[in-house]
Amino acid sequence: MGAAPRPSNRACACSALWRIARAARAARRDLPCVPQVLGSVQTPQRSRRPSRGHRSSDELLSLLVLSHDISPFPCQDIITTPFDPTQAATDTLVTTGWYLPLLAFVILAVLECGSERRVPAGSLADHLLNLAGLAVQGIAIPAAGYLIATRVLAAHWPDFAGSLRIGCLGAFLLNFVLVDLVYYAQHRLFHRVGVLWALHQCHHASPVVSVWATSRNSLWVSFLFVYLLLNPLLGFLCDCPQGFFFSAALTASLDLWRHSRLPERFAPAWLGRALVTPAHHHLHHSLDGQGVNFGANLLLWDRCFGTAREPDGYPARYGTSNAPGPWRQFLFPW
């Protein structure tokens, strides 16, 4: 019997390619980056160009390595930009996002002091509740959300980071529109369900609505808002977390604006066609308006679900009935 036929160069290359792919999938995180692999793999050279409809071993290897869907290699520099919290923290959008709400608060507080609609003086307990709310929702909650996204989720599910490929504009709209819709639904639940209303009542019990009362709430409700439950996860999944984070900062700034006690000229009528203006939200804080205008950013949801009401100036009285004492509102509102 004669010797077995010697395998062709194409068969050798395909066999080597198959072994490389299997080894790469078995040790996905231990392999070197793609350029090193490509430099170390020697594929047979063909003297003639492959016929149409067939791919050479070089082309197959390139497709396997560079294809986003089937690549077994962990080096993502060629495929996509990975989620990197340390780089994102120095991004311009993220830096702007950290300071935008603070800048908005300072500007609005100064404008309130100088406007003809001066904020009435409240009790010491009201002032302390306002400051406590600003500390919780303005510092603790954003910091907790950032740590959840960059430390917890990034450590336990790194493969899902940036898996939602919608770009910066898509990430911005995801927060500004979709999260706003979820907040609208949650806000209505806080007014409809007794145990949730007990948590939210502290916010409506303020006798004065101003930029200082924006974050006044019971201690526990701050950890139930969609801004902490949903934002870290969605921001982590977005391929452009900077756009999502900037939108969240803009939402926080608009929250300060719609609670501010400024003249109507700071909220032109044309803005009220799309956004929840201060007059809209102040109506929600009035004694007879707590069943309308639940939206945060967009008035669209109130219009769609029949809870929109156009304001006629600012209300004369704010607050709610049967509210417990100030510190019970904050610590134990039930």
pLDDT of the chain, 334 residues: tens digit per residue: 555 555 555 555 556 666 666 665 555 545 444 444 444 444 445 445 444 445 454 554 444 444 444 433 333 332 334 445 445 555 666 667 778 999 999 999 999 887 666 566 667 888 898 999 999 998 999 899 989 998 999 999 999 999 999 999 999 999 999 999 999 999 999 999 989 999 999 999 988 899 999 999 998 888 899 999 999 999 999 999 989 999 999 999 999 999 998 887 888 878 889 999 999 999 999 988 889 999 999 999 999 999 999 998 888 889 887 878 877 888 877 6
What residues have CB less than 8 Å from 242, skipping those under 6 apart? Answer: 88, 91, 92, 93, 94, 97, 168, 171
What residues have CB less than 8 Å from 325, skipping those under 6 apart? Answer: none
Q: In the prediction, which pLDDT does 287 show?
A: 86
Both tokens assigned to 125: 């307990």
Helices marked H in 205-240? 226-229, 231-237
Q: In the prediction, which pLDDT does 76 show?
A: 35
Q: In the prediction, which pLDDT does 88 show?
A: 54
CB atoms under 10 Å from CB of 5, counted, come to 6
Both tokens assigned to 328: 């019970």
Q: In the prediction, which pLDDT does 98 show?
A: 77
Q: In the prediction, which pLDDT does 28 show?
A: 52
Axis-axis angle for helices 278-285, 241-259 (nearest 10): 60
Q: In the prediction, which pLDDT does 134 show?
A: 92
Closest CA to 214 of 288, 285, 301, 298: 285
What residues have CB less than 8 Å from 235, skipping those under 6 apart? Answer: 145, 149, 171, 175, 241, 244, 245, 248
Axis-axis angle for helices 92-114, 241-259 (nearest 10): 10
Query: pTM for the complete prediction?
Result: 0.71
Amino acid present at 221:
V
Cβ burial 308-329 (10 Å sphere, 16+ → b, else e): beebeebbeebebeebeebeeb
